[in-house]
Structure 1
Amino acid sequence: MTNRILLIAHAPLADALAQCAAHVFPDSGEHLMAFDVEASADPVVTLQEAQALVAKGGSGPLLVLSDVFGATPHNVAQELAKQRADTRLVAGVNLPMLLRALCYRKEELDSLVARAVAGGSQGIMQVTQTTPQNQNTRVHDHDHCHHQQ
């Protein structure tokens, strides 16, 4: 079964990340949901809206990616995740994390979480004018999304 992914972030980040992902993975729409949380949003109403979005998106395992740990979008996502045994939550979403998650969305949920976290952290590096600093040498997995590596 293919995992579903929910982006929940301060507006307009979730939708912007989803649009970027659609550029790389045009077929991601059926597996990816984006939920932007406005600054003035009521957390109770926001949770209800997130629940409705997830229900509308079908069934099956769910990876929730939030932007900032402890902020309203994350807190709402955490409440959502508590209600579902087949849900995992990762805070600190960035585009490399999302792309990695989409690339490996057919893996077991816990494996998907590990891949997403690795993709997010590997996508962060200090870059000089000539070469990236502290970049690990990566073995390319030609069976999976090698453009991500």
Structure 2
Amino acid sequence: MKTCIVLIAHVPLASALRSCVLHVFPECESEVLALDVPPCAQPAEMRDAAQDLMNRSGAQQFLLVSDVAGATPHNIACGLVHEPTAGLITGANLPMLLRAVNYRHEDLDSLIERALAGGRQGMLRPQLQASCAHQ
């Protein structure tokens, strides 16, 4: 079963991350959704908007991804988690999302672990080559 990935983040991060994901996976337009949460948003209204987005997707399984634990987008997403059909991860980054989209056919628990690993593995402090060093 494919999983629909729903990004819920502070404006404009959700839409920006979705655009980046669709640059790599353009065929996933209906499987990667975004909800940007503006600064003055009412959490109940945004939760309803997110639920509507999920309902319109027609998907039966969801991975909700928020940007910052404890912030409004994360709290909105928490209200939408209904295991075993929806899971939540936070700390959204592009490597995490690319991994999630790539493995969206796996069961939700495996998908969550792969996405988290992708997010961690995507954070590096590369050694600069001599040609990259500032002079």
TM-score range, shorter chain: over 0.9
Instruction: Say whether the 8 Å CA contact 2:3–2:59 is kept in structure 1.
Output: no
Query: Which residue is equivalent to 1:142?
Result: none
1:94 match:
93
Q: CA deviation at 1:130?
A: 2.5
- Say what the alpha-carbon RMSD is for the aligned residues: 1.3
TM-score between the two structures when normalised by the length of structure 1: 0.84
Letter in 2 for 1:72: T
Does structure 1 residue 129 correspond to structure 2 residue 101? no
Deviations 1:78-108 (A, max 9, x none): 0111x45410000001000000000000011
Task: Show the counterpart of 1:29.
Answer: 29
Q: Which moved more, 1:51-60 or 1:70-79?
A: 51-60
- Structure 2 runs not aligned, ≥5 long: 131-135
Aligned mates of 1:85, 1:3 — CA distance in 2: 12
| Structure with more relative contact order (C-alpha pairs < 8 Å, separation 6 or more) | 2
Give the match's secondary structure for 1:105: coil
Is 2:61 aligned against 1:75?
no
Moved runs in structure 1, 4+ residues, more than 4 A? none
How far the C-alpha of 1:129 sits from its partner, in A, is 1.1
Residue 61 of structure 2 is matched in structure 1 by: 61
For the structure 1 residues 18 and 124, does the alpha-carbon distance in structure 2 shift closer, same or farther, using more than 3 Å as the test? same
Could you tell me which runs of 5 or more consecutive residues in structure 1 were left unpaired when the two chains were aligned. Answer: 132-149
Corresponding residue for residue 133 of structure 2: none
Q: Who is 1:117 aligned against? A: 116
- For residue 7 of structure 1, give the secondary structure of its aligned residue in structure 2: strand
- SS at 1:80 equivalent: coil
CA shift for structure 1 position 128: 2.7
